[in-house]
Amino acid sequence: MRIDILTIFPGMFEGPFNDSIIKRARERNKVAIHLHDIREYTRDKHRRVDDYSYGGGAGMVMMVEPIARCIETLKAERTYDEIIYTAPDGELFEQSEANRLSTLTNIIILCGRYKGIDERLRENYITKELSIGNYVLSGGELPAAVISDSIIRLLPGVLNNETSALSDSFQSNLVSPPVYTRPYDYKGMRVPDVLLSGNDKKIDEWRLDQAIKRTKERRPDLLPDEDKFYR
Question: Which residues sit at the interface with ligand SAH, rule CB under 6 A?
Answer: 86-89, 111-113, 115-116, 131-133, 135-137, 139-140, 143
For the CA atoms of 52, 143, 8, 77, what is the dihedral angle to 10 degrees?
-110
Minimal distance, residue 199 CB to ligand SAH, in Å: 44
Minimal CB distance residue for ligand SAH = 112
Cβ-proximal residues to 117 (8 Å cutoff; 6+ apart), any chain: 61, 62, 67, 85, 110
Minimal distance, residue 92 CB to ligand SAH, in Å: 9
Our CB check for ligand SAH shows the closer of 76 and 136 to be 136
DSSP codes, 6-56 = EES-GGGGHHHHSSHHHHHHHHTTS-EEEEEEGGGG--STT---EEEPTT-
Our CB check for ligand SAH shows the closer of 131 and 172 to be 131
DSSP codes, 93-107 = P-HHHHHHHTT-SEE
Our CB check for ligand SAH shows the closer of 133 and 157 to be 133
Minimal distance, residue 67 CB to ligand SAH, in Å: 11
Minimal distance, residue 5 CB to ligand SAH, in Å: 12
β-sheet bridge partners, residue 34: 4
Minimal distance, residue 89 CB to ligand SAH, in Å: 5
For the chain, helix, strand, coil in percent to 5 are 40, 20, 40
Our CB check for ligand SAH shows the closer of 31 and 132 to be 132
Our CB check for ligand SAH shows the closer of 11 and 178 to be 11
